[in-house]
Amino acid sequence: MRADEAAAGTVPAGSGASFDLDHADSLHLLRRQTSVLELIATGTPLAEVLTCVVVALEELIEGSRCSILLFDPVTATLHHGAAPSLPAAYSARIDGLLVGPEQGSCGAAAYLGTPVVAADIRVDARWRRFRDVAAPHGMRSCWSSPIRGRAGIVGTFAVYHDHPHRPPLRERRLVERFTHLASVAIDHAGLYGALAESEDRFRRAFEDNATGMVLASVDGRIVRVNRALRELLGAAESELLGRALDEVARPAGDPPAAGTGGQLGRLARDRAGSVHYEAAARHADGRAIDLAVAASVVTGADGIPVNLSVNLLDVTQRRAAERERHARREAEVARAAAEAASRAKSELVTALNHELRTPLQAITGFTELLRTLDLPPDRRQAALEHIDAAPGHVLSMADDLLDIAKIEADALPVRIEPVELRGLLGEVLALLAPLAAEHGVLLRPPVAAGTVPAGRCAVRADRRRLRQVLINLVTNGVRYNRAGGWVEVGPVDSMAADSGPATVTVAVRDSGPGIPAEMMSRLFTPFDRLGAERSAEPGAGLGLVVARALTQAMGGTLEIRNAAQAGTTAEITLPAAPGG
């Protein structure tokens, strides 16, 4: 040892590295190491292991009294670990010793990280605050070595004598060996203690949890159950252990959505997160129990799944409340639907009464006129025409009502076939040409019609029903137009099959005043003529209702909107005919 190190009372690391213990010391050391390792392996409390280490060193260093203090990194203090030969009063006084350069041999050794020798406590400056503590117990010298663990300084190993003493190389080598042995014991106790603490926390969290819990093997067999689950099922632990989890908590669904062959199996194989599913169980008294199940993987130190942790929450009352709310909602919906149907029926009867009375009153009135008055030939002819038109109006309305009833009952006969549009549109325009001429309205093909290839002007539809729809739309465009106006009709768009189902759109546009925005929502309300009942144009308010229903029956759609400038646009979109 250098003079400066001797004066400071510190021993450099590695001092005495060239010094070997004699055969007797080595044998004694080996036997003590074996005893200590056996104690560690059997889980002996740390205090007993450290006491064994201290006693072993005292046997090898004559006249010594030894102690081990444990370092608390949180408070930077040293606390009693083992000191079987030191007076209890002294151990109690230095328990909680602060770490620092002037905190005796142990406090300084822990602070500096090197062995510290106080050859004479009475004159050593580091013992100034503790001489009165040591003197009554006859302590004259103390040298202390830091105990290094995996995480740094974990304690100190001190050797006391009742006379001034400086340790020779043999004692230093012995302390180095026993310090290392103490380090192994302290590190192991830390790991074992953390493991025991973790196990205790798990045991408490598992057993005392208010939610039912299962620890299952990776193949879904129950290994352990907690009290809450036993009470939930009314079953003893022995009745549950070893059973497949999905026998106890049957996954909901048909086929089951989880279980040892489903989600639990995949969870164990993939080592992924957690799974959640619904299950059903039965209490010992026969009561059905609804469960919400959450399962996660428990892995070992090597990352391999060793268990499944499963929580089973009783949601029976919650599900019953949900079913009750659902039933209540369904009842409210059914009641609202019944009330709406009743109102609709009343409105239909009222509207039908009005629509029937109008032509019937015309028949009655003109018949009475012919019976009581001698009319000129032209007025007589006009009266007969009114009488002749009235039954046609009634029959047309009856036909429309019958079509609506058949469509709602899904009983309307529809014969779907390829229909070539250009020929059909020609028929419709020729049929309505006299009506258009009467109203001073021009019928014309669409400006964009040339953009649709002629080969794509065929649709899949019922020809007679499609003709009925087109006649209705074009008639509306003519009747509710203006003198000198126009109605444009024809195919304007097609969508190829590679961008979705192939369709063809036919548009009917007019130059009329359009439909007020506030009335657009009433377009398809039966008998609602949107104010047209105040005009001279005949009608029952069923045309658009029938047109949309027929279009939908043919697998198409009918949309009506106001044009950007003026007028109305009606678009019929139908499936394109194959090859069209």
Question: What CA–CA distances, in Å, run from 540 to 15, 359, 517, 537, 546?
Answer: 116, 11, 21, 10, 11
Q: What is the pLDDT of residue 26?
A: 84
Q: Within 255-315, where are the H helices?
A: 263-270
Question: What CA–CA distances, in Å, run from 261 to 223, 244, 271, 280?
Answer: 18, 11, 15, 17
Mean pLDDT on 277-302: 87
SS3 176: helix
Query: What CATH architecture applies to the domain 3-196?
Result: 2-Layer Sandwich (3.30)
**pLDDT bracket for residue 5 (50, 70, 90):** very low
Q: What is the pLDDT of residue 397?
A: 57
Backbone phi, then psi, for 470, in 5-degree steps? Answer: -65, -40
Mean pLDDT on 432-449: 78
SS3 289: strand
Cis before 164? omega within 30: no
Query: What does the pLDDT look like over 12-65, one tens digit per residue?
Result: 544 444 456 788 888 888 888 888 888 888 888 899 999 999 999 999 999 999
Q: What is the pLDDT of residue 254?
A: 56
According to DSSP, the residues that pair with 104 across neighbouring strands are none
What H or E segment, with its residue span, contains residue 467?
Answer: helix 463-479
Q: Which two structure tokens, joined as six digits, stand for 29?
A: 């050391």
pLDDT over threshold 50, residue 561: yes
Give the span between the Cα atoms of 472 and 467, in whole angstroms.
Answer: 9
Q: What is the pLDDT of residue 380?
A: 74
Nearest to 310 by CA among 234, 236, 259, 239: 259
Give the span between the Cα atoms of 94 and 114, in whole angstroms.
Answer: 20
**pLDDT bracket for residue 99 (50, 70, 90):** very high
Which range has highest mean pLDDT (156-165, 278-287, 296-305, 309-318)?
156-165
Give the position of tokens 């729809």. 469
Whether residue 548 contacts residue 558, with contact meaning beta carbons closer than 8 Å, is answered with: yes
Query: What does the pLDDT look like over 414-429, one tens digit per residue?
Result: 889 999 988 888 888 8
Question: What CA–CA distances, in Å, run from 18 to 35, 169, 173?
Answer: 27, 9, 10
Query: What does the pLDDT look like over 213-257, one tens digit per residue?
Result: 998 888 889 999 999 999 999 999 999 999 998 889 888 865 555
Nearest to 229 by CA among 215, 246, 217: 215
pLDDT over threshold 50, residue 8: no
Q: What is the pLDDT of residue 384?
A: 72
Query: What CATH architecture applies to the domain 210-314?
Result: 2-Layer Sandwich (3.30)
Least confident of 38-47, 110-119, 161-170, 527-536: 527-536
Q: Which CATH number fits domain 417-575: 3.20.20.70, 3.30.460.10, 3.30.565.10, 3.40.710.10?
A: 3.30.565.10
Amino acid at the residue 314: D
pLDDT over threshold 70, residue 97: yes
Give the span between the Cα atoms of 289 and 315, in whole angstroms.
Answer: 8
Q: What is the pLDDT of residue 394?
A: 61
Mean pLDDT on 332-338: 81
Nearest to 573 by CA among 495, 474, 486, 496: 495
pTM of the model: 0.43
Whether residue 520 contacts residue 563, with contact meaning beta carbons closer than 8 Å, is answered with: no
By percentage, how much of the chain surpasses pLDDT 90? 34
DSSP for 349-381, please give it.
Answer: HHHHHHHHHHHHHHHHHHHHHHHH----HHHHH
pLDDT over threshold 60, residue 281: yes
**pLDDT bracket for residue 349 (50, 70, 90):** low
- Higher confidence at residue 538 or residue 384? 384
- The maximal CA–CA distance of the chain, rounded, in angstroms, is 158
Q: Region of 185 please: left (phi>0), alpha (psi -120 to 50) or beta.
A: alpha
Q: Which CATH number fits domain 325-408: 3.80.30.20, 3.40.309.10, 3.60.15.10, 1.10.287.130?
A: 1.10.287.130
Nearest to 82 by CA among 33, 128, 47: 47
Which range has highest mean pLDDT (197-211, 212-226, 367-381)?
212-226
Question: What CA–CA distances, in Å, run from 124 to 9, 63, 69, 140, 313?
Answer: 9, 21, 21, 10, 68
Where would I find the beta strands (DSSP E) of 499-567?
Answer: 503-510, 557-562
Query: What does the pLDDT look like over 144-166, one tens digit per residue?
Result: 999 999 889 999 999 999 999 99
Give the span between the Cα atoms of 13 and 397, in whole angstroms.
Answer: 113
By percentage, how much of the chain surpasses pLDDT 70? 75
Give the position of tokens 């009608």. 539
Q: What is the pLDDT of residue 208?
A: 83
Domains of the chain, by residue range, sit at 3-196, 210-314, 325-408, 417-575
DSSP 536: S
Question: What CA–CA distances, in Å, run from 157 to 136, 456, 562?
Answer: 22, 99, 97
Question: What CA–CA distances, in Å, run from 129 to 107, 121, 123, 523?
Answer: 12, 11, 12, 102
- Higher confidence at residue 343 or residue 106? 106
Assess whether the region 3-196 and the region 210-314 belong to the same CATH fold. yes
Q: What is the pLDDT of residue 123?
A: 94
DSSP for 28-66, please give it.
Answer: HHHHHHHHHHHHHHTT--HHHHHHHHHHHHHHHSTT-EE
Mean pLDDT on 120-135: 93
Q: What is the pLDDT of residue 4?
A: 39
